[in-house]
């Protein structure tokens, strides 16, 4: 397959490395020192005590790569709006676009089937232009349960997990999703088609919207959070509120709060993404991870006092990072 990874950072780097290792034709969109390192030295993957290097085409402009079979969008959510119009050169009639991103995706209500079907999520798409920038018919939903970091430019370290869940926005089983999942599994992913990708989005999101801002505000590793009864009590309350919001949109989370916390425990001593971003003074994915849930709660008339309080704090923290 011809595969382009847009945003070849931590998760994008894993995607690029695993597909390259399997012999696919991989290109990557990156920028800055990371791009220069990819051009000069290839992509280095650190995993399981081994170091592997994969030469690949890299650029800050996707226009020169030509039409692809699959485009993985692995950007921070605040970078998506500017990039989507630039992907047109990569798209043929059958090109799959897989947003492997955190939080609630901008396309959430595309073919969702409920009373808000086809609407934008305002905090993610305030101008209402993202569906125009990328025809959503190309989109396959994706939820990632893997962790990685970029210790230096051109280098990606795989730290946990390799599960990628793929699903059509309209919940159908499709031949294109089946082909992609088969290629991913042959390349070393643990991929499967989800029966309902929105359920999987919420399963991950209830963890992200609680752990990420708490970790960023407290500068706490996952082990620190799990060792604090006070922080765990906060996590539980936020998850309970988020599960009520999901239920208002017809999504039943197929596990209890404590079962979801047990999944998070598997990340052991990890420093999760928003914590890393605070330390490096990078923009935070506040809206996709927390603000979008607040927006959906207001639409549905669901009270979320604990999420609202944490949202106010992390939004203010994010504002000060820009100074």
The catalytic residues are 204
Q: What spatial distance separates the first Cα and last Cα of the chain, rounded to whole Å?
A: 43
In Å, what is the CA distance from 213 to each residue of 16, 260, 291, 298?
28, 17, 11, 20
Asked if residue 206 lies in contact with residue 178, where contact means CB atoms within 8 angstroms, the answer is no
Assign 62 to helix, strand or coil: helix
Burial 61-77 (b: 16+ CB within 10 A, else e): ebeebeebbbbbbbbbb
Q: CA torsion angle for 50, 220, 204, 10 (degrees, to 10)?
A: -30
Question: Which SS3 state, helix, strand or coil, does residue 183 take?
Answer: helix
Secondary structure class of 126 (helix, strand, coil): coil
Helix boundaries (H) for 42-196? 80-83, 130-133, 175-186
């Amino acid at each position: 397959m011809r595969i382009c990874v847009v945003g070849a950072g931590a998760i994008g780097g894993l995607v690029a490395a695993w597909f390259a290792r399997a012999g696919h034709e991989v290109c990557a969109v990156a920028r800055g020192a990371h791009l220069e390192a990819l051009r000069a030295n290839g992509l280095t993957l650190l995993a399981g005590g081994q170091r592997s290097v994969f030469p690949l085409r890299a650029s800050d402009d996707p226009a020169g790569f030509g039409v692809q079979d699959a485009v993985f969008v692995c950007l921070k959510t605040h970078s998506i709006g500017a990039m989507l119009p630039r992907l047109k050169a990569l798209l043929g009639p059958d090109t799959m676009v897989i947003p492997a991103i955190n939080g609630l995706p901008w396309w959430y209500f595309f073919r969702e089937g409920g009373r808000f079907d086809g609407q934008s999520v305002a905090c993610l798409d305030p101008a209402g232009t993202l569906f125009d920038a990328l025809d959503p018919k190309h989109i396959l939903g994706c939820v990632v349960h893997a962790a990685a970091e970029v210790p230096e430019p051109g280098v990606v370290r795989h730290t946990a997990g390799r599960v990628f869940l793929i699903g059509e926005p309209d919940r159908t089983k499709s031949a294109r999703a089946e082909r992609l999942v088969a290629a991913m599994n042959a390349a070393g992913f643990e991929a499967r088609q989800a029966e309902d990708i929105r359920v999987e989005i919420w399963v991950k999101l209830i963890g992200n919207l609680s752990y990420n801002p708490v970790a960023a505000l407290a500068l706490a590793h996952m082990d620190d959070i799990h060792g604090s009864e006070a922080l765990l009590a906060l996590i539980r309350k936020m998850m309970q509120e988020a599960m009520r919001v999901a239920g208002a949109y017809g999504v039943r989370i197929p596990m209890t709060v404590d079962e979801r916390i047990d999944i998070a425990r598997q990340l052991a001593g990890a420093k999760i993404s928003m914590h890393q971003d605070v330390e490096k003074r990078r923009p935070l994915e506040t809206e996709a991870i927390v603000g979008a849930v607040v927006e959906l709660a207001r639409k549905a008339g669901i009270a979320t006092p604990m999420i609202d309080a944490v949202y106010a704090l992390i939004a203010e923290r994010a504002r000060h990072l820009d100074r």
